[in-house]
Structure 1
Amino acid sequence: MKLSRYIFSCCLLILSIFMIIPSIMAQTPVVYKIPVYKEVEKGLYAFLKRSINEAEEAGAEAIILDINTPGGFVDSAERIASLLDSTSIRTIAYVNSEALSAGAYLALHADEIYMSPSGTIGAAAVIDSSGNTADEKANSAWKAKMINAAELTGKDPIYAQAMADDTVDLPKFRAPVGKLLTLSASEALQVKYSKGTVSSLKELLEATDLAGSKIVETEETFTESLARFITNPIIVPILLSIASLGLIVELYSPGFGVAGTMGLISLVLFFFGHLVAGLAGYETIIIFIIGVCFIIAEFFLPGGISGILGVAIIIFSIILAGGNIVQMSIAVLIALTVAIVGMVIIMKFFGKKQTIWNKIILSDATTTEQGYVSNENRVDLVGRVAVTMTALRPAGTIRVKDERIDAISDGSYVDKDKHVMIIKVEGSRIVVREVLEGEEIK
């Protein structure tokens, strides 16, 4: 009896523990720490989208953006900022080293900003692909976005404007007219852009009343890292150039070799990276395949329309996959230029001919150099004597032994049944003259 009571008590204790554990775990807040490193570009958006979705599904108390970036691309920064604005989870930007340009814009879209002692934030002017300041239209739009980002969280917008506009005069912060504003940790705290300066994640959790939280650190997967590299606007035109040049070289090579393989791999990487980054859908691949089918059809259809249409469809699919029409158009233009230059070099300096067309275009020729003639050249008849079977006026027919031959006189009329001598043979043209009386016939 005592033993059964003991067993029952143990089971009740174990059951109580299992009931208490979930409630204890539920009371422990979960905080997601998401790294925002390197350049702000399209691949980063895909990684942050996945991480924020995971945080929302886990019911996270807060998201800490561990920022250390020199900036990046405006369109990518805007998409990431929309992600931050749309989540209901508390977002904290921790400027661990620097949040410059697009990085500053992302930090301003967080609910709170904290900085490390060596952290800096600012210098957010728009730079074009040549490294120069963008035109007034682009700068004006970007300044408005920076101001709106500051106002969104109740910050004084003058400092956000000064980060993007060098006409704002803030000499107190080493940003007179002509220089963009970059705030140190103490200066950001002074102007209330930062809520505090902390040296570690532990201090940050204590400052934000999240001490004791369970920290979940998200990391990029290999495919996400690869996608970030592939979708970088600097890498995209290089990939497309390798693809176009590789396929052009393959047109001049027998079989399918290294150049063609490199071209196909480059195209596969391009679409793979943009699929992972969430910029392209499977419809772009379908459009690309349709373009390839049109080009193949050109081998069997006359006119060239199918081939031109196929190339246009492929270019459209590539531009569609890139997300940013302007950037992708530039990348495609660079790739086409490389392909054209490569084609000219191969044809002009290496004297190559496109071997791929040999299977569908008749290239054989029956030339004299190869021993072909349109008619048999009967030079063995020169000097032979024949009899005219018809009058030569000046053309007619002669007989050499038992062979009938068309001939032409050297200009004079020759009657039928006269002896003539063959004096010239030029292909099918046989010239004769009449044998005069008393002339010896051989």
Structure 2
Amino acid sequence: MDTIVRHSWLRLFLLSLLLAGFAQAWANAQTQPGRDEVPVLTIEGAIGPATADYVAGGIARAAEQGAPMVIIRMDTPGGLDTSMREIIRAILGSPVPVVTYVSPSGARAASAGAFILTASHVAAMAPGTNVGAATPVQLGAPAAPSTPKSSDQQADDKGTSSPAKSGGASEAKALNDAIAYIRSLAEMRGRNADWAEAAVREAASLSAKSALEQKVIDIVARDDGDLLAQINGLTVALGNGQVRLQTDGVRLTEVLPDWRTRLLSAITNPNIALILMMIGAYGLLFEFMNPGALYPGTIGAISLLLGFYALSVLPVNYAGLALIVLGLALMGAEAFSPSFGILGIGGMIAFVLGATIMFDTDVPQFRVALPVLAAIAVASLGATVLTMRLALRSRRSSVATGREEMIGATGSVLDWQGTGGHVRVHGERWNARAVSELHAGQEVRIIRLQGLTVEVEPAN
């Protein structure tokens, strides 16, 4: 019998694997573009880890499927430096040409978008779009006022301006690194490296027409059809050779983010990551307070792991993370050793301060929103007040367990003879004695407990 059951499970397992393989092959056949199909990736909004994963994966799949090229349709205000560099590495290492198209009209390729546009094999823009303003935000603050300088000093400043004079050493290093990076990309693609430097150093920005005139981009196209017509026959440098683009008869195929990218995009939102950490911390706390509840612990553990994963791909300030951990520890300590609010309020303050400085980035889209901080602070304060109320109520309530709980408890006489007998209290049989005669079935109340013998008196 065991052998039959074992073989049945084995057949079922093999059948499941076979069906999964067929399903995956069918899905690939449905989503795999042909040789005449050009995948179109869309970058819209701030560039983060999910965007980098989506673009890098799309370029890799296009290369595997033998697509003639990849088009990136872009409209972005910028994003994280690490994500931007991951996308650029995918473009530079791509075995198929990458065409970046700033579209539709009104779109922009600012900050990180300017770097990606510069790195692409073909840079195109739609009329009514702009590119530039690539200075890191923290370096773009106005300089402090200074004393007037002589004409000789002003001339010297114009000829030898250096970012280190207007900011700290760390700002100068970041600015010089960004300048060198975008210049190298522009020189690699044969584009205007001087303007690329100005886009970083001076936050310069250009319209589509001006960018074409100054050789910042290659093409100004009205729409996708115009773009394909203009790049047809264009030769681009790819690896160690030249590739001639052929767009006759090709079709554009929109590549949408898969579930993994959408999930990554959701949990790498700093607000969502912070909320997941709060749910995880309180879930585990409630599980420890009520062992065996299971639901709070399970949900809390999953949420906490998702929150930690989000932190692993986001730029995190470890001082802020340490404050958050301290805040969670203090709020947990309030639940187990009530301090009438001191630990809870201190934990709430530490948590909010940590959340404020935790994400080390100059991109507003990757900072914690003030309403979220306020909501977390209110929720933490509410949990602290609830813990205080429960602590005060427990101090006022009578003892429910142990020796003290037996005093005053009532029961009934099982049998009695003289001044001793047995009584039933809380379903248990106890030895009992009394100063007066009692009879079976009589209600009694415990007035004293000595070892395993209770002293009772009539309940009435």
TM-score (norm 2): 0.53
Once the two structures are superposed, the pairs formed by residues 234-253 of structure 1 within 5 Å of their partners are 234-253=271-290
Residue 44 (structure 2) aligned to one of 31, 37, 54:
37
Aligned counterpart for 1:137 among listed residues 168, 173, 186: 173
Counterpart of 2:131, as a letter, is I
Deviation, structure 1 residue 146: 2.0
Which residue pairs with 1:189 in the alignment?
Answer: 212
TM-superposed CA distance for 1:153, in Å, is 0.8
| Partners of 2:332 and 2:135 in 1: CA distance | 40
8 Å Cα contact 1:250/1:256 also seen in 2: yes
How many residue pairs are counted as aligned between the two chains? Answer: 276
CA deviation digits over 1:171-218, x for unaligned, max 9? xxxxxxxxx212111121121112221121011000111242132221
Contact 1:115 1:196 in 2 (8 A): yes
Alpha-carbon distance between aligned partners in 2 of 1:255 and 1:28, rounded to the nearest angstrom: 57
Match of 2:137 among 121, 124, 127: 127
Q: Percent identity?
A: 24
Structure 2 counterpart of 1:204: 227
* C-alpha deviation, 1:59, in angstroms: 1.3
> Partners in 1 of 2:298 and 2:266 — Cα distance?
21
CA RMSD of aligned residues (A): 3.5
SS in 1 for 2:82: helix
Tell me if the contact between 1:237 and 1:332 (Cα under 8 Å) persists in the aligned partners. Answer: no
Cα distance between partner residues in 2 of 1:28 and 1:258: 50
* 8 Å Cα contact 2:35-2:68 kept in structure 1: no
Measure, in 2, the Cα distance between the counterparts of 1:42 and 1:27: 28
Larger Rg: 1
Task: Tell me how far apart the structure 1 counterparts of residues 329 and 307 of structure 2 sit (CA, whole Å).
Answer: 21
The Cα shift of 1:330 comes to: 5.5
Match for 1:78: what amino acid? R
Shift of 1:334: 5.0
1:225 to 227, 245, 262: 262
Contact map agreement 2:35 2:67 (CA 8 A) in 1 = no
| 1:323 Cα offset (Å) | 4.4
Provide the rounded CA distance (Å) in 1 between the counterparts of 2:390 and 2:34. Answer: 74
Q: Tell me how far apart the structure 1 counterparts of residues 35 and 60 of structure 2 sit (CA, whole Å).
A: 20
Give 1:149 deviation, angstroms.
Answer: 1.9
Judging changes above 3 Å, is the alpha-carbon distance between structure 1 residues 234 and 160 closer, same or farther for their aligned structure 2 residues?
farther
1:332 and 2:321 aligned: yes
Taking structure 1 as the reference length, the TM-score comes to: 0.55
1:100-137 C-alpha deviation (Å, 9 max, x unpaired) = 111111111101111011211111222369x9998333
Q: What is aligned with 1:18?
A: none
CA distance in 1, matches of 2:138, 2:286: 33
Contact 1:233 1:327 (C-alpha < 8 Å) held by counterparts: no
The one-character-per-residue Cα deviations of 1:292-333 (angstroms, maximum 9, x if unpaired) are: xxxxxxxxxxxxxxxxxxxxxxxxxxx7xx146x52736633
What is the CA–CA distance in structure 2 between the aligned matches of 1:204 and 1:239, rounded to whole Å?
43
Alpha-carbon separation, structure 2, partners of 1:199 and 1:208: 13
CA–CA separation in structure 1 for the residues paired with 2:38 and 2:171: 41
Other-structure match for 2:354: none
Any idea what SS the aligned residue of 1:327 has?
A: coil
SS in 1 for 2:66: coil
Q: Distance in 1 between matches of 2:201 and 2:275?
A: 33
> Structure 2 regions of 5+ residues with no counterpart?
1-32, 143-166, 233-246, 342-386, 392-400, 409-460
Tell me the alpha carbon deviations over residues 373-431 of structure 1, each in whole angstroms, 9 at most, x when there is no partner. Answer: xxxxxxxxxxxxxxxxxxxxxxxxxxxxxxxxxxxxxxxxxxxxxxxxxxxxxxxxxxx
**Which residue does the alignment assign to 1:22?**
none
In structure 2, the CA distance between the partners of 1:235 and 1:112, relative to structure 1 (3 Å rule), is same
Residue 274 of structure 2 contacts residue 307 of structure 2 at CA under 8 Å; is this kept in 1?
Answer: no
Q: 1:92, CA displacement in angstroms?
A: 0.9
